[in-house]
Structure 1
Amino acid sequence: MKRFSLLLIISLFLIVLAACGSSAESSEGEDAEGKETNETVTVNHELGETEVPKNPENVVVFDYGIVDTLDTLGVEVAGVAKGNIPSYLEKYESETYANIGSLKEPDFEKIAEVDPDVIIISGRQASVADQLEEIAPTIHLGVDTTRYMDSFEENMATVGEIFGKEAEIEEELATIEESIASVNDKAEENEENGLIILANDDKISAYGPSSRFGLIHDVLGVPAADEGIEASTHGMNVSPEYVMEEDPDLLYVVDRTAAITEDDSAAEEMVENDLVKNTKAYENDNIFYLDPDYWYLSGGGLASVTEMIDEIDASLE
């Protein structure tokens, strides 16, 4: 009987000990809901290598393409750069989300007040990345237009890893790849060339392959009317005479004025002048005014890239 009691006591002691060990292990690796804590993700980005927390709670974002992506994935953000938020993301104008400044002038005081776990930027904020890094880990997830899809997919994979949305990202990218393949087939069948211009008040700039809007040529397969356009952020300054001389089959117009103001009618009047009316694009009703929310403000997001592909798809019907 004594031996049995001793064995019982030892067994109970071992059970309690095991439970304590399991509890300690859980508290170090998981929270009360079983989620990992203190885990980090190493992000390699344009500005270097940065450790960011896994599943960060307080996230501030300057890049609207990333806001678009997080919105698609159902990931909440604490603050965004307000002022030129795309209309389809207008919910972020709400006071629910902190205003962290403009795209060119971050509000460092407000960002510090939010106390973010991670700050996500793109090109316009690169020059102040060091200052932002003093507040929280800062990563650059802007799209490299010289390698658009590779860069976009890398950014999406990074977002998926940080927020535990790998499966959702994989599914979204698979759908996008299917759409791209379909548009490429149409572009090859049509054999029509295209010219991309940005309308900005009374000025126009042309963009070609590897440029800000080079997705049309490099990824979607629409041949460029002018292969000699130098790739740059601001495009090549051109005139209506240039557009007439290049005589594109398809003319794609991104209206910057409409993107940053409420005036969405000026570009058509300026672009479709007497010279441009001599082009095949005008004669065949093939001038397409692309949605500036997607093309100018929020390119590089899951929703925006999908819509951009759909717009070019529709232009090839």
Structure 2
Amino acid sequence: MKKIILSSLIVLTLGLAACGNSGTKNTDATSGTETSTSEVTKKEVTITDGNGEITVPYQPKKVVIFDNSALDTINVLGLKDVVIGAPTSNLPSFLTDFETVESAGGIKEPDLEKINAMQPDLIIISGRQRDFLPDLEKIAPTIFFEVDSTDTWNSIQHNALAIGQIFGKEAEVEVALGDLELQIAETKEKAEASGEKALVVLMNEGELSAYGKGSRFSIVHDTFGFKQSDENIEASTHGQNVSYEYILKQNPDIIFVVDRTKAVGGDQSETSLADNDLVKDTNAGKNGKVIVLNSEVWYLAGSGLESLKIMLEDVNQAFK
């Protein structure tokens, strides 16, 4: 009788132990670390990019990236080693960590043959490579990230969180975005309190374009809170062509300058807006508020976790 009772107790104990181990935790026999079963078995993740929903590999190990903002965010998240290819000849200086990565072609013309040979698990592109999307999709799942210029900050957050979702780094992205949101709120409060009107101008070898809400650099107004000096600027990716006379007529209190020539190379003989006599006669010229932005960041990136910090530092020069 005692043997029967003892046997029953052993069976019951083993049964309880088995139940206790049937949850969502597995222990690595070599390291002793516990791993969620859902993380072990997760193979894919579905996100939304510029074209809609797309299913891609979860935590891909080999990624080719043409979108500098995505490259920026991945770098901040400590995921540099997953990047096997990028347009290395067009990297902003703050992304020099990727200079040793294999070149995947030019920023506007991916090298399809080379990318195919790399056998990536995932490809990430921006608008500059959009025409190549069908060809890239034949090589690997391809994400197209864009920033909605009519809803800049929400769009930027969405893209960053999508990257976090792909690599299992959602919590880290949320913390970084929370810090940025605080900095943005402080900047916006200062901009609105100042009452000063700003004009964003892109220079390209002497040619001038102005940008307002709904356009490429709308973040200055719709996110950072600077009032426009001209509320009627045409909303356009390439901006509204303007003259020095136009700038004088608008008489902005602040002029933010994006120098495309410095970002991509070219004739830099006419790249000093502040030295123009008509610009000198504006409020911005008289008060030393013709502010040259970090053109590499604003023109070649502009929506990654690190680049946003640089952009905030740039516009905050207006308050010094």
Q: Deviations over 1:271-300 (max 9, x none)?
A: 531221211110111100000121111111
Q: Distance in 2 between matches of 1:298 and 1:305?
A: 9
> What aligned pairs does 1:276-295 form with structure 2 within 5 A after superposition?
276-295=279-298
Return the letter of the residue paired with 1:300.
S
CA RMSD, aligned part only? Answer: 2.8
**How has the CA–CA distance of structure 1 residues 242 and 171 changed in structure 2, closer, same or farther, with 3 Å as cutoff?**
same
**How has the CA–CA distance of structure 1 residues 8 and 188 changed in structure 2, closer, same or farther, with 3 Å as cutoff?**
closer
CA contact (8 A) 1:199 1:256 kept: yes
Name the counterpart of 2:126. Answer: 122
2:147 is the counterpart of 1:143: yes
Q: Deviations over 1:87-119 (max 9, x none)?
A: 11122121xx12111121111111111111111
Q: Distance in 1 between matches of 2:310 and 2:269?
A: 21
CA contact (8 A) 1:196 1:206 kept: yes
Q: Distance in 2 between matches of 1:304 and 1:264?
A: 24
> What aligned pairs does 1:251-270 form with structure 2 within 5 A after superposition?
251-261=255-265, 266-268=270-272, 270=273
Name the counterpart of 1:248. Answer: 252
Name the counterpart of 1:158. Answer: 162
Deviation at 1:47, TM superposition (A): 1.5
CA contact (8 A) 1:38 1:53 kept: no
**How has the CA–CA distance of structure 1 residues 110 and 179 changed in structure 2, closer, same or farther, with 3 Å as cutoff?**
same
Name the counterpart of 1:275. Answer: 278
Identify which range, 154-163 or 33-42, moves more after superposition.
33-42
CA contact (8 A) 1:142 1:300 kept: no
Q: Distance in 2 between matches of 1:65 and 1:123?
A: 12
Return the letter of the residue paired with 2:167.
F
Name the counterpart of 1:108. Answer: 112
* Structure 1 stretches lacking a partner, 5+ long: none
> What aligned pairs does 1:31-110 form with structure 2 within 5 A after superposition?
34=35, 36-76=40-80, 77-94=83-100, 97-110=101-114
> What aligned pairs does 1:222-237 form with structure 2 within 5 A after superposition?
222-237=226-241
CA contact (8 A) 2:198 2:254 kept: yes
Aligned-pair identity in percent equals: 42
Aligned residues: 309
Return the letter of the residue paired with 1:301.
G
Return the letter of the residue paired with 1:213.
F
Q: Structure 1-normalised TM-score?
A: 0.88
* Structure 2 stretches lacking a partner, 5+ long: none
Q: Structure 2-normalised TM-score?
A: 0.87
Return the letter of the residue paired with 2:154.
D
CA contact (8 A) 2:205 2:268 kept: no
Deviation at 1:314, TM superposition (A): 2.4
